[in-house]
Chain A
Amino acid sequence: MGGLRFFMDINRPRLLTSLSILLLASNILTFTYFYLDNVRLREAIEGERSRYGEAVESYRRELDIYTVLNRSYYEALEMNRRLEELLMYFRGKLIVPYNYTVILEDEAP
């Protein structure tokens, strides 16, 4: 105890000043560190929001393309069915003279 009292007695003003300076420096460092991290995070959030906005925009553009393509696809498919129907109609059909009995009579050898 005697030694500590001696130290405090002898160096008290200097110690307190040193501690104050240390704490002040620590305050500044802590603030700076956290502030910089805070700024970094805010910028990262802004960057992410910007990327998200671009992604949404791209998605919308792609969705528009999808809508157009989808419509074209179904139109082509419908056209395919109509063509199939028409070809089915002609398939295996005889081209018969309108009044075939008479024409066959006329043209038969």
Chain B
Amino acid sequence: MRFQMLLLSMLALSNILIAAYFSLENRRLEDILHREHSLYADTITRYWKLQDDNMRLNNSYREVAEANRRLEAVLNYTLDVVRSIPYNYTLMPSMEFMNRFLFAYTEEMRGFVLNLTGGWDGSENDFRSDLYRIYTGWRSIFVYAPAPYGFKLPLINIGSWSYAYTPYYHDEYLREVSSCEIVWVPIYGASLSFRYRQGGCWDFAVVLVSLYYAYYDIAGRSLPTAYISIGAEGVEEFSHACVLVKLEGDMVAILDWEPITVSDGMLEFLPFDLARQLHGRYWWGWSIFYKGFMMGRPYRSGFFESNEEFYRWLVEELN
């Protein structure tokens, strides 16, 4: 009887213990399972994201690589063109070339100047009369007629630059340049205009400035000399070019188709206001204004908004 009671008690206790032990153990295992699942879920999410990133990165890479292939084709074409040039050459931005070439004089021009002047004897009068002789010499052989402008140089024209952003990192890259061609562009400059000996006021003035530079190099003395473009108030279609030589301050000599300031076979330097009046008188009494300038050594150019601005430039900057 007692034994049976004891057995019953043990069985009941064992039942409780089994249930309690396994409940705790299984709960612990469930926690572990949950943790393991979280780790897995986290890793697989990162994996999927990385997979997606790789796909987009791969697309980005392919796009840039494809763009590079297109750009290489353009570059190879350009190099082939450049390699096929049959003479020794240098590559120069067209503006830089103009800056170097516009007022450059040739040996022929130097000889022309030397022949006209015989060089400088060191006196002020000879310097001024030489400047006048150069003007008259050039004016006597120059013909006012359309210039042929037959000489052209090849220009590498690479156009339509198209940029894009990569899909992944959003980096900007050059996607395409859709046109690359060699364009032959006409070349303008004093040496060509001198050789043609004909042209418009532009050609006449540019060559005269260049001849003066040649003379300054021969004489070893120079005066600030510039190509000047002019207009006239109330005469909108009038646009012309002349040459201005500065002595000092605002003392200037102006050379148009005719010399505006000359006396006794020499250039005469007059105060600017007076020279401007004489210049206006030469142009049928028009009120002349000075629009812009170009000069070499080093090349400079600019435009003026008003006569006051021109005057300030003349006195302070023209050196």
Q: Which residues of A approach B to under 8 Å, CB–CB?
A: 12-13, 16-17, 19-20, 23-24, 26-27, 30-31, 34-35, 37-38, 41-42, 44-45, 48-49, 51-52, 55-56, 58-59, 62-63, 65-66, 69-70, 72-73, 76-77, 79-81, 83-84, 86-87, 89-105, 107-109
Indicate whether B258 reaches chain A with its CB closer than 8 angstroms.
Answer: no
Q: Are B11 and A24 in contact (CB under 8 A)?
A: yes
Measured CB to CB, the closest approach of chain A to B55, in angstroms, equals: 10
Q: In whole angstroms, what is the CA distance A108 to B190 when docked? A: 13
Q: Indicate if B313 sits at the interface (CB-CB under 8 A).
A: no
Please, how many angstroms separate the alpha-carbon atoms of A78 and B315 in the complex?
51
Mask of B73-108 contacts with A, CB within 8 angstroms, 1/0: 011001000100101111111100100010010101
Task: Kindly state the separation between the CA atoms of A103 and B151 in the bound complex, as whole angstroms.
Answer: 11
Which A residues are CB-close (under 8 A) to B57?
A: 66, 69-70, 73
Chain B residues whose C-beta falls within 8 Å of the C-beta of A30 in the assembled complex: 15, 18-19, 22
Query: Contact at B88–A97, with CB atoms within 8 Å?
Result: yes
The listed residue with most B CB atoms (<10 A of its CB), out of A23, A66, A89, is A23
18 A-B pairs whose Cβ atoms sit less than 8 Å apart in the complex: A16-B1, A24-B11, A27-B18, A30-B19, A38-B26, A41-B30, A44-B33, A45-B33, A59-B50, A76-B61, A77-B173, A83-B68, A87-B74, A87-B177, A92-B157, A94-B155, A97-B88, A101-B106
Binds A, one of B41-49, B214-222, B268-276, B288-296: B41-49
CB of B46 to closest CB in A, whole Å: 6
Which applies to chain B's interface (DSSP): helix, strand, loop or mixed? helix
Chain B residues bordering chain A, tally (CB within 8 A)? 83
Minimum Cβ distance to chain A for residue B256 (Å): 27
Given contacts A80-B174, A93-B156, contact A38 B4 (CB under 8 A): no
A97 & B46 in contact (Cβ 8 Å cutoff): no
- Among A42, A96, A107, contact of B90 (Cβ-Cβ < 8 Å): A96
Q: Contacting A38 at CB < 8 Å: which of B29, B40, B92, B191? A: B29
- Given the interface pairs A93-B155, A95-B85, the reply to whether A45 lies near B29 with Cβ below 8 Å is yes
CB-CB under 8 A from A59, the residues of chain B are 43, 46-47, 50
Residues of B within 8 A of A38 (CB): 22, 25-26, 29
Chain A CB within 8 A of B223 CB: no
Residues of chain B with a CB closer than 8 A to A37's CB: 22, 26
Q: Which 4 A-B pairs have the closest CB atoms?
A: A34-B22, A23-B11, A41-B29, A48-B36
Flag if B33 contacts A48 (CB, 8 Å): yes
Q: Find the B residue at minimum CB distance from A23.
A: B11
Is B301 located at the chain interface by the 8 A CB criterion? no
Q: For A19, give the chain B residue with the smallest CB separation.
A: B8
In the assembled complex, which residues on chain A have CB atoms less than 8 Å from the CB atom of B91?
A: 89-90, 93-96
Task: Indicate whether A76 sits within 8 Å of B187 (C-beta atoms), given known contacts A26-B15, A34-B18, A45-B32.
Answer: no
CB–CB A96/B92 < 8 A: yes
Question: Are the CB atoms of A94 and B93 closer together than 8 Å?
Answer: yes
Instruction: Give the residue among B33, B78, B177 with the most A Cβ atoms within 10 A.
Output: B33
B92/A23 in contact, CB under 8 A = no
